[in-house]
Amino acid sequence: MGQYCTTEASDHILTITLSRPEVMNALHPPANAELAEVFDEFAATDDLWVAIVTGAGDRAFSAGNDLKYQASGGEMGQPATGFAGLTARYDLLKPVIAAVNGVAMGGGFEIALACDVIIAAESAVFALPEPRVGLAALAGGLHRLPRAIGVKRAMGMILTGRRVPASEGQELGFVNEVVPDGELMDAADRWARMMLECSPMSIRASKQAVYEGLELAGVRAASEARYPAVRDMAQSEDFVEGPKAFAEKRPPQWKGR
């Protein structure tokens, strides 16, 4: 139990709840530092395979950077792993699901974009409104959003700071699924459990190949690149177990190693 977030681990799934509801789960440097430690532990714990990130209360996933804290002269700065300890964590190979309830503004939207899958409640609203307060979405939002939905669609959001409801987010392509508010966490858990049906080694190899491949110029370069997680997958017990379980017509027993 942390001061600015809560965590719950069960069945290889870690659920992280941003918990500053009095400021719509906006984050300040102490909260970012605490979350960085949480994600460090998630990355290092062999028995944790998938993370779900959500916000406390029914008003907000996260309103982003705590501007009132900043305006009051509070010490600023972020951990090396970025806003929420996640937006610059480029070496995290385990999948992370954003379960977005209510407002995901600015840095809150950037947290969601840094996740691999976004599940949104019908009440969820997304925006990068930083230009409206003299700032810019520099925690990855300006780069992740165009890659997710295309430059023109992204610029339509970035240059206006407009609010996009969950249904439009799904149409644009950055939201995977929209569900009724009361079904959000069940839906996120359903996605997590579908991931658990797959080999953790294959999941990590796939995630690394996708994101590092996107850094390269073309399909050939991305296909011919070498990815350490793919090597680890090929040397793992899961690499043997998957085909063996298929041949024996039984569910695989993944080890994650």
Catalytic residues, which ones?
Answer: 110, 130
The angle subtended at Cα 87 by Cα 86 and Cα 93, nearest 5°, is: 60
Name the nearest CA neighbour of 239 among 226, 219, 218, 256: 256
CB 254 within 8 A of CB 199: yes
β-strand partners of 226: none
Name the nearest CA neighbour of 76 among 27, 18, 113: 27
CB 139 within 8 A of CB 83: yes
Helices (H), 93-183: 107-114, 141-149, 151-158, 166-172
Backbone angles phi, psi at 50, to 5 degrees: -140, 145
Give me 223's structure tokens. Answer: 């296909």
Strands 13-18 and 5-10: antiparallel
Strands (E), 132-247: 164-165, 177-179
Give me 245's structure tokens. Answer: 């379980």
